[in-house]
Amino acid sequence: MRRDIDVLDAQLLDLLNRRGRIVLDVAADKDRESEPRYYRPEREAALLRRLAGVNEGPLPGGEVMRLFREIVSTCRTLEQRLAIGCTTVREARAALGHFGGAVDIHDMPNAESMLDAVEGNRLDHATIELSQSGAASPVITAVPERGLVLCGEWYAPDSDRFVVIGRESVPPTGKDWTSFILPTRHLLSVESRCRERNLQMRAIPVSGRTPLSVVDVAMHVTDPRFACLVDRLDGMALLGAYPDFVTGVCPE
């Protein structure tokens, strides 16, 4: 059995290097583009969902997701090693969970300087803790003001939610969330519209601000229903659309 494991390990290494060589070919193609995209959250989400659907064990689904996040992360460094900004240890852990370990974590003094660095192309992405004691961090309101977008989410084991901020919008994957900031007075209207369309929705207030809420609806912003959902709601600011968090749990 040990000999069998040794043979399989050698085969796994060969397959991983074959994957890496293909990634290098993809990187060569991207280098010819005027604005290459090295981080593709929509493709990574599709990969993880596909693996969750075909995994037959005995490896648990969550561990399969963790392993393949690391494989994708390591192969991504053959194209570009991402620079991720964080302001706390919790945010750094969330960034490593979301992107995998093959990234450079930059400790930033505060959220404002972190967003400055993403906006100025000195960081590729930032990870912030969105939910704090049941309310959203007020820094989230600066995201649309700077022309930035949400492009991913991550849940810690304690269920606290983190979001990934970048400069580029994410194409639809078929299972997405769209987030936006809304004056709280419009919440009942949005809830009613979501019920009429059988859409999942979640909302949390923004801490320490004029009555604002962060609202998430289970659709991509390019879905025609989204325009109807927010029609005539003054004060709405789009945060971005991103893939639903991939848990690694096999579907029933």
The per-residue pLDDT for range 112-128, each reduced to its tens digit, is 999 999 999 999 999 99
Burial call 102-131: b when 16+ CB within 10 Å, e when fewer? bbebbebeebeebbbbbbeeebbbbbbbbb
Q: How far apart are CA 129 and CA 135, in angstroms?
A: 10
pLDDT at position 35 is: 73
Residue 222, CA distances (Å) to 140, 173, 218, 242 in order: 22, 11, 12, 11
- Residues 144-201: pLDDT tens digits? 999 999 999 999 887 789 999 999 999 999 999 999 999 999 999 999 999 999 999 9
Domain positions in the chain:
176-243
Q: Report pLDDT digits (tens) over 60-94.
A: 988 999 999 999 999 999 998 999 999 999 999 99
Asked whether residue 31 carries a pLDDT value surpassing 80, the answer given is no
pLDDT tens-digit readout, 40-59: 999 999 999 999 889 998 99
What is the greatest pairwise CA distance in the chain?
A: 67
What is the pTM (predicted TM-score) of this model? Answer: 0.89
DSSP state of 147: T
Query: Which contiguous run of DSSP H or E holds residue 74?
Result: helix 61-76
pLDDT of residue 250: 42
Q: Where are the alpha helices (DSSP H) in 105-235?
A: 111-119, 142-145, 187-196, 224-229
Match 């060569």 to its residue by tokens. 28
* 95 φ/ψ angles, rounded to the nearest 5 degrees: -60, -45
CATH architecture, domain defined by 176-243: 2-Layer Sandwich (3.30)
Given a contact cutoff of 8 angstroms between Cβ atoms, the answer to whether 91 and 97 are in contact is no
pLDDT band at 252 (very low <50, low <70, confident <90, very high): very low
pLDDT for the residue 248: 54
